[in-house]
Amino acid sequence: MALTRRNSEAGLWLSRRGSGTPLVLLHGMGSSHHAWDLIADDLEKSFAVIRIDFPGHGETPYLDGEEMDPVSLADKVFRTLSEHGLEEFHLVGNSLGGWVALEMGSKYAHSVLSITALAPAGLWLVPETKRILKASQGRQLAKALHPVAPYIARYEWARKIGFEVVSPQWRTLPTQILVDATKAMGTSRGYFPAWDALLGRRFDSQVDPSIPVCIIFGDSDNTLPAAFSQERSLAPRHAKWVTLPQSGHAPMWDRASEVIELIYETTASTSR
């Protein structure tokens, strides 16, 4: 895997593997490029898979005062891709990454070939005005436990504490996925800046109807529940909406094969 660290104006860590049309993977808040480990190998058979870490996540440092709202992140991602000579690309994003992908479809329609948004944030009628206590507690727990995660992630009690709310498949997820996720959350200096940047905001942009969009939610998403965080009237009108059974906030973990299939279906429907 070829790696590039912060050596440009946009400054986002980027990896590229595979060949073909670029397909960019954008992780969620408090996550990292490792969130895609269960599906990346399959996608690399047909695409040049690009993984990016947002500021203060994974391999990208956080610079004090750095803008972390979805539109600013969309600009950073676009500049990073442009600096690497990537002029057209498919987008796949989870949670915050899904919101960023939708903003890119609005602002950079000339470059975006398709969008697959997995449990995208921003589809709420009433934005939050303060941090959610459980999310803050989860970050503090991960910060305390990530050094010992490789040793305790095999135990059911530890899996339940860390991932029962995130995934209905928490008992059977690969241990390394849980270890990497705990480390990503526990070391994410950009987590709270990203949280604060979302307050008072929602997705209010329009995506060009020529860009195929598929929005995927799990039926057991406790992070962005259907009751108030999956507002279809805010989604692009032409978007395909899919609800996957026995899936939580990370469908690429819980329903990897179905997500791969939907990504291929969405990318194949582009008109370019």
Residue 255: predicted pLDDT? 98
Count of other CB atoms within 10 angstroms of residue 264: 15
**What's the CA gap between 170 and 105, in Å, rounded?**
32
Closest CA to 22 of 139, 146, 122, 114: 114
Q: Please compute the mean of the pLDDT values over residues 78-103 and round it to a whole number.
A: 97
20-36 tens-digit pLDDT = 999 999 999 999 999 99
**What's the CA gap between 234 and 122, in Å, rounded?**
9
The topology under which CATH files domain 2-128+200-268 is Rossmann fold (3.40.50)
Residue 11: predicted pLDDT? 84
108-166 tens-digit pLDDT = 999 999 999 999 999 999 999 888 777 778 888 899 989 999 999 999 999 999 999 99
**What's the CA gap between 80 and 24, in Å, rounded?**
11
**What's the CA gap between 114 and 88, in Å, rounded?**
10
Residue spans of the domains in the chain: they are: 2-128+200-268
Q: Is the pLDDT of residue 4 over 70?
A: no
162-212 tens-digit pLDDT = 999 999 999 999 999 999 999 999 999 999 999 999 999 999 999 999 999
Residues in the chain: 272
- The amino acid at residue 108 is Y
Strand 22-26 and strand 48-53: the pairing is parallel
Q: What is the pTM of this model?
A: 0.95
Residue 73: predicted pLDDT? 98
Q: Is the pLDDT of residue 8 over 70?
A: no
Tokens of 63: 């610079």
**What's the CA gap between 190 and 226, in Å, rounded?**
26
- The amino acid at residue 5 is R
**What's the CA gap between 60 and 66, in Å, rounded?**
12
235-251 tens-digit pLDDT = 999 999 999 999 999 99
Q: Please compute the mean of the pLDDT values over residues 9-15 and round it to a whole number.
A: 85
- Per DSSP, the residues of 67-118 read --SHHHHHHHHHHHHHHTT--SEEEEEETHHHHHHHHHHHH-TTTEEEEEEE
Tokens of 57: 């996540």
Q: Please compute the mean of the pLDDT values over residues 72-87 and round it to a whole number.
A: 97
Residue 116: predicted pLDDT? 98
Tokens of 259: 């997500």
- State the pLDDT confidence band at 9, using cuts at 50, 70 and 90: low
Q: Which residues are within 8 A (CB) of 192 and not within 5 positions of it... i.e. 6 or more apart?
A: 131, 136, 139
